[in-house]
Amino acid sequence: MNEKFFDLKKERQNRIINASLQVFAKYGYEHASTDEIVKVAEVSKGLLFHYFINKKGLYLFLIDYSYRFMELEIKSEVHENESDFFALQLGILKGETSIMRKYPYMKLFMEQILEEKDIEDEMLTQTIEKYKTLYRNMLENVVYSGIKDGVNLMKVADMISYTGMGVMKKLIIEDCLDPDNYARQMGGYLIMISKLIRE
């Protein structure tokens, strides 16, 4: 990547990043078209390739940028050593909502790379592993106090994550991927799950 990309005005940077996240999240690496990216971003293909050389360069930049941004945003909303499962989940939701305000498709993009089979790269592999452990590591300090016997909180966390992806995809289909709408719907699911698994 050409570091001069960061010399662009922030609004233009974000237009390119958001357009790229949107197209890659929807179509995956193989089927994502740079023609579609520049159309959505309203920039020339020459400009895009001036900064990223090719589609792979852009894709790998997005993976690294997205992971770093998400890690900072989520950790800023989750108290270190949080031991209450639902306080942790609410912090994660707050972080993800904050991410969506700036980059609506970033979370979907990062989930999509977990299934990526059309590109091999060491940095991609390493970032996937870091992303997988980002959420898992936050669960290490969770205590089961007040939780019904037999409940596996790791599996509940997976269920919440799957629900979040389902809500996002539904909002995309309905053309209303709005952070507040997402937070409202997910907040409702967290309340319901809390009632089901607490003693």
pLDDT at 116 over 80: no
Task: Look over the chain and give the mean of its residue pLDDT values, rounded to a whole number.
Answer: 91
- Per the confidence metrics, is the pTM higher than 0.75? yes
The third-level CATH classification (topology) of the domain covering 3-197 is Tetracycline Repressor; domain 2 (1.10.357)
Which residues share a beta bridge with 198?
A: 147
pLDDT at residue 87, rounded to an integer: 93
Res. 81 pLDDT band, cuts 50 70 90? confident
Per-residue burial over 115-151, b if 16 or more Cβ lie within 10 Å, else e, is: ebeeeeeeebeebbeebeebbeebeeebeeeebeeee
Of 17-26, 93-102, 111-120, 159-168, the range with the lowest mean pLDDT is: 111-120
Q: Which two tokens stand for residue 110?
A: 């990062």
pLDDT at residue 21, rounded to an integer: 96
pLDDT at residue 112, rounded to an integer: 86
Per-residue burial over 70-91, b if 16 or more Cβ lie within 10 Å, else e, is: beebbbebbeeebeebbebbbb
pLDDT at residue 177, rounded to an integer: 85
CA-based nearest residue to 102, from 32, 10, 164: 10
Phi first, then psi, for residue 198 (nearest 5°) are -80, 150
pLDDT at residue 125, rounded to an integer: 84
pLDDT at 118 over 90: no
* Torsion-angle region of 111 (φ positive above 0: left; ψ -120 to 50: alpha; else: beta): alpha
Please name the residue ranges forming H helices in 53-152: 55-77, 85-102, 106-113, 122-138
Question: Which SS3 state, helix, strand or coil, does residue 195 take?
Answer: helix
